[in-house]
Amino acid sequence: MRRTLTVVGVMALAVGAAGLIARYVPIADHALLGAAVISPYLGLASLVAVVFLLLARRKVISAIAVATAIATLAVQLPLYMSDQYEARSVRIRVMTVNLFLGQANPQAVVERAKASADIVAVQELTRKAARQLSAQGMDRAFPFQTLDTRPEASGTGLWSRYPIRDVQSYKQFTHATLSARIHVDGLAADPAVFVAHLQSPWPEPIDTWNREIADLQPLLQRLARDAGKACVIVAGDFNATLDTRNFRRVLDGGYRDAAEQSGAGISPTFPADAQWPPLVAIDHVLTSACAASQAKTAKITGSDHRALLVRVEAPES
């Protein structure tokens, strides 16, 4: 019996340790990517390891399992602890949603946007989907927009209740990528908004995904520098989770992930069209010089992603 408990405990420890290690190594292939993405679930195995190894009375290996479990909890628990934000601010409600090749139900998208957002970042926006959203009242509710419609997965759009200026597009990415400044009454400086959709790392070769994440990091740093003290909001489908080292490097330079900053924890958005709940959080809102006070997801009929809804508190001065 003791031998069986030890074998099970050691196997569980190996799984938990693999998940923890995968968070900190460069993502060079699909196997490492998969391990990093599901590392929060792999990490649960370290807790199982502690129980089995203690029951087996294996002191040394039990100590290793306890250390691994503590390290795993130290990584994940801060995601559920919100920051305190006390500055006087103006709230900007953000919605980002992937339309799944333009197939998301347009009425569902517009209804959710009207109820929950001031700016809406859209990925996989086709020309047909843009027309359908307009027909459902998107343009009336959000009279300012900049759209780059493209076939299948490559289109991107931004709808806003606030006036838009200084629209820019970025050609180094596979999918349409854009930024703009929005004018919000009550703010001393106009916030910058960046909408992204990074190339999927699967089933395509992982090299393009790695390159696009690497290209995004200095671009966002420059955007924050150019914005000065103004709020910067980055929204979209990054095809990456906070458990991938590559994506966490994008946060360098003062960015925070909205789900982490607001204490919402892991907020899975994909896949949303399966028989089970979404498993991974690959849709994100990032903030710089402002703070997310709430983040939650919402089902969008016809899409393989859930929408991510975030409240951003932009300081008045």
- Give pLDDT tens digits for 187-202: 999 999 999 999 999 8
Residues 71 and 130 in one domain: no
Residues forming beta bridges with residue 15, ordered by sequence position: none
Residues 119 and 52 in one domain: no
Encode pLDDT of 236-257 as tens digits: 999 999 999 999 999 987 899 9
Distance from C-alpha of 118 to C-alpha of 91, rounded to nearest angstrom? 9
Cα 313 → chain centroid: 18
Residues 55 and 158 in one domain: no
Q: Which domain holds residue 32?
A: 2-80
Encode pLDDT of 105-143 as tens digits: 999 999 999 999 999 999 999 999 999 999 999 999 999
Q: Which band of pLDDT confidence, cut at 50, 70 and 90, is reported for residue 205?
A: confident
Q: Which band of pLDDT confidence, cut at 50, 70 and 90, is reported for residue 203?
A: confident
Q: Tell me phi and psi for residue 304, to 5 degrees.
A: -90, 5
Residues 14 and 128 in one domain: no
Distance from C-alpha of 253 to C-alpha of 270, rounded to nearest angstrom? 27
Residues 118 and 227 in one domain: yes
Percent over 70 (pLDDT), the chain:
99
Kindly state the helix (H) or strand (E) to which residue 265 belongs, with its residue range: none
CB neighbourhood size of 176 (10 A)? 23
Higher pLDDT, 66 or 203: 66
Residues 111 and 241 in one domain: yes
pLDDT greater than 80 at residue 283 = yes
Cα 30 → chain centroid: 19
Residues 112 and 35 in one domain: no
Residues 73 and 97 in one domain: no
The DSSP symbol for 213 reads H
CATH code of the domain covering residue 113: 3.60.10.10
The identity of residue 76, as a single letter, is: Q
Residues 167 and 258 in one domain: yes
Q: Which of 54, 80, 106 represents a domain boundary (last residue)?
A: 80
pLDDT at 84: 73
Q: Which of 232, 279, 280 is nearest to 92 (CA)?
A: 232
pLDDT greater than 80 at residue 317 = no
Which tokens sit at 317? Answer: 């001065």
The DSSP symbol for 6 reads H
Q: Which of 48, 80, 112 represents a domain boundary (last residue)?
A: 80
The identity of residue 299, as a single letter, is: K
**What is the total count of domains within the chain?**
2
| Averaged pLDDT for residues 276-299 | 97
Residues 195 and 254 in one domain: yes
Q: Which of 50, 80, 110 represents a domain boundary (last residue)?
A: 80
pLDDT greater than 70 at residue 209 = yes
Residues 167 and 56 in one domain: no
